[in-house]
Amino acid sequence: MSPDTMILRALREAGLGGVSGASLAKDLGVSRAAVWNRIEELRRHGYDIEASPHLGYVLRGSPNALHGDDLMARLPRNRVIGRDVRVFSETTSTNDIIEKLARDGVAEGSVVFAETQTRGRGRMGRQWHSPTGSGLWFSVLLRPRLRPSAATQLTVVSAVAVARAIERETGLRPDIKWPNDIMFGQKKVAGILLELGAELDRIRHATLGIGIDVNVDPAELPPEVREVATSLRAELGRVVDRASLATAVLRELDHLYQRLGDGDFHEIGDDWMRRCSTLGRRVVIHIGDRRVTGRAEALDDEGALLVRTEFGTIERIIGGDVTQEKAP
Amino acid sequence: MSPDTMILRALREAGLGGVSGASLAKDLGVSRAAVWNRIEELRRHGYDIEASPHLGYVLRGSPNALHGDDLMARLPRNRVIGRDVRVFSETTSTNDIIEKLARDGVAEGSVVFAETQTRGRGRMGRQWHSPTGSGLWFSVLLRPRLRPSAATQLTVVSAVAVARAIERETGLRPDIKWPNDIMFGQKKVAGILLELGAELDRIRHATLGIGIDVNVDPAELPPEVREVATSLRAELGRVVDRASLATAVLRELDHLYQRLGDGDFHEIGDDWMRRCSTLGRRVVIHIGDRRVTGRAEALDDEGALLVRTEFGTIERIIGGDVTQEKAP
């Protein structure tokens, strides 16, 4: 744990009670002057830290910015997801960075955020717009013990984690559109891109890319995106704290991913179904050149969508582009 | 096309009839002195090129070595597989180089050979031994329009290509053990490792790694490998020309891959079945912690193995470790 992570964790745990410089110096194994230097540095980053003669240091406020050390300080100690968190000001795509870490043999759970991406990716090779500083654009390295055919379980878990975190932080309850779009009505607020490095029967690693339009002003987006996109700020009418939401997503993801590993997919799938706007609707799905039309009936044990076609047969869909009829 | 590829292609096409320096100079758009310099360079690489006053240049013999320019000169002009061929003296793994090219957006068909690999990979994270200069260790970049669930088709195509090329070059007829081991009896002579970069419903690229123990002396291999491995030289009692075999594999692969793209998997699958030692046998398959026992009955349209279990049900196997009973 870095000194800044330790200091911020101690300050958050102490709350308004404060923590003394002597105690911080002891925990870090450095002088009180060195603690003071780190505190000054954190203040320069926008942390409002009061030095009180009686209470010691008290954290009064945090900047609406992303700092890896602070995000780690806000996460549980025994976490898998977020065991390492890095924040870049700009990358091509956070998935690219995680891919590189994966090939270097880094353990699962590393997370990379970027304030903006120059080549953010959506599904099917599409572009993803990442306006600077107003969204959460991040990727997570996973090494799940799943067969490639069960990889859809990961997007189900991720969609539930994002939806729950948004609900917790804003009180709003978004829908999930199969497999992994987070929507308010017909407008998308967050998307998930899962990329796999696999052999035929084994996932070597999975890169989970998540994009959330937190405080994005829809006017910042290109016209064709603007019509189908929204942001939490646009829905809520106020700015949302990105660091707090990022922490909430990583906590949920850590919790659900560990439950997935314990074999509890079924229960997560049930929550997904309750939040899903696709089930029960008529859908048209484009998979490459194919087109499947029918009624979305259920999710199976591997996260695939079961669609009853117009011919009465059940098609098992693992991907593709879904158009669903509007709510009745 | 590089000057050396053009010269070697012209020499091979001319055969014993030879080709004049003036004609080569004209084709290359350089002086006859420049052609002479390239010929000298090729001679230093071991090409036996005679300069006859009447015939011009005649290629009398080629070194038993791998040169990218020469391998390209031996391949058809309108190929996809082998549109670019590079030979490294040493790499970690040729799959690593192809992965990097794939991420850089290089078109499919690039091939990378290495004289030796320091971290050659087999299936399931196993090590692959690549003694220097005595085998063919290479990888091919593919961008197939296949769903991830049909990726087994690629290993079927590759196994047939390798088996056919070995048969053409040596007259020996190896067996195929599902899905992609090339065997003489109980001993493996070549292996194939397919690695995918994929989304849920789309293969972005596939890296096809092929290792053939051409002239490997089994004594060069570690004891535990020696007992289950053989080489073409060991089976045949003579050294096999590696460049000629490499060209034969790439030609077959190019042919079969284009047929796969045309929707002719069925016919390739039929040839696979004729060459396969697994079908009809009792097999035990380990997939992670699972174990399936039964009789291998057929290959399905996506290249999966259909096994009739001891309970009478059919299991569809897409990977795993196969142990098959010996021939009756």
Q: Give ipTM to 2 decimals.
A: 0.72
Which residues make Cβ contacts (< 8 Å) with residue A208, sequence separation at least 6? A139, A140, A141, A142, A154, A158, A192, A193, A194
Q: Give the distance from residue B158's alpha carbon to the nearest chain A alpha carbon, in angstroms.
A: 14
Q: Are B87 and B66 in contact (CB under 8 A)?
A: yes
Give the per-residue pLDDT at A242: 95
Helix orientation angle between B94-103 and A94-103, rounded to the nearest 10 degrees? 180
Q: Give the distance from residue A127's alpha carbon to the nearest chain B alpha carbon, in angstroms.
A: 15
SS3 A39: helix
SS3 A28: helix
Q: What is the CATH number of domain A282-324?
A: 2.30.30.100
**Cβ of A204 and B197 within 8 Å?**
no
Six-digit token pair at A133?
């500083």
**Cβ of B199 and A193 within 8 Å?**
yes
Return d(Cα A276, Cα A322) in angstroms, integer. 13
Please indicate if any CB of chain A lies within 8 Å of the CB of B60: no
Q: What is the reported pTM? A: 0.82
Encode chain A (328 residues) as per-residue pLDDT tens digits: 788 999 999 999 998 889 999 999 998 899 999 999 999 999 999 999 999 888 899 999 998 889 999 999 999 999 999 999 999 999 989 999 999 999 888 999 999 999 999 888 887 667 888 888 899 999 999 999 888 888 889 999 999 999 999 999 999 999 999 888 999 998 999 999 999 999 888 899 999 999 999 999 888 888 888 888 999 999 999 999 999 999 999 999 999 999 999 999 999 999 999 999 999 999 998 877 788 899 999 888 888 899 999 888 998 888 778 888 775 5
Beta-bridged to residue A307, according to DSSP, are A296, A315
Residue closest to B320 by CA, chosen among B294, B296, B284: B284
Burial of A33 (0-12, 13-18, 19+ CB in 10 A): exposed
Please indicate if any CB of chain B lies within 8 Å of the CB of A94: no
**Cβ of B193 and A201 within 8 Å?**
no
Give the per-residue pLDDT at B328: 52
Burial B155-188 (b: 16+ CB within 10 A, else e): bbbbbbbbbbbbeebbeeebbbbbbbbbbbeebb
Give the per-residue pLDDT at A24: 93
Number of separate helices (H) and strands (E) present in chain B: 10, 14
Please indicate if any CB of chain A lies within 8 Å of the CB of B290: no
Q: Do domains A68-275 and A282-324 have the same CATH topology?
A: no
Beta-bridged to residue A314, according to DSSP, are A308
Q: Which fold has domain A3-61?
A: Arc Repressor Mutant, subunit A (1.10.10)
Q: Which CATH architecture is the domain B68-275 placed in?
A: 2-Layer Sandwich (3.30)
Please name the amino acid found at residue B50. E
- How distant is the alpha carbon of residue B163 from its chain centre? 10
* Domain map (residue ranges) of chain B: 3-61, 68-275, 282-324
Question: Which of chain A's residues have a Cβ under 8 Å away from the Cβ of B200?
Answer: 151-152, 155, 179, 194, 196, 318-319
Question: Which of chain A's residues have a Cβ under 8 Å away from the Cβ of B198?
Answer: 148, 195-196, 198
Return d(Cα B40, Cα A241) in angstroms, integer. 70
pLDDT single digits (tens) A97-109: 999 999 888 999 9
Question: Which of chain B's residues have a Cβ under 8 Å away from the Cβ of A194?
Answer: 199-200
Q: Are A202 and B124 in contact (CB under 8 A)?
A: yes
**Cβ of B318 and A201 within 8 Å?**
yes
**Cβ of B200 and A103 within 8 Å?**
no
**Cβ of A199 and B194 within 8 Å?**
yes
pLDDT single digits (tens) A137-172: 999 999 998 888 888 899 999 999 999 999 999 999
Please indicate if any CB of chain B lies within 8 Å of the CB of A21: no
Instruction: Select from A123, A149, A199 the Cβ nearest to the Cβ of B199.
Output: A123
Name the strand (E) or helix (H) holding A317: strand A314-317
pLDDT single digits (tens) B43-80: 999 999 999 888 899 999 998 889 999 999 999 999 99
**Cβ of A155 and B194 within 8 Å?**
no
Return d(Cα A152, Cα B149) in angstroms, integer. 13
pLDDT single digits (tens) A87-131: 999 998 999 999 999 988 899 999 999 999 988 888 766 788 888
Return d(Cα A37, Cα B11) in angstroms, integer. 74
Residue of A147, A200, A204 to mutate, interface with B, max B Cβ within 10 Å: A200
Residue closest to B322 by CA, chosen among B138, B188, B157: B188
Q: Give the distance from residue B147's alpha carbon to the nearest chain A alpha carbon, in angstroms.
A: 9
Alpha-carbon distances of A197 from A93, A133, B286, rounded to whole Å: 17, 30, 21
**Cβ of A200 and B194 within 8 Å?**
yes
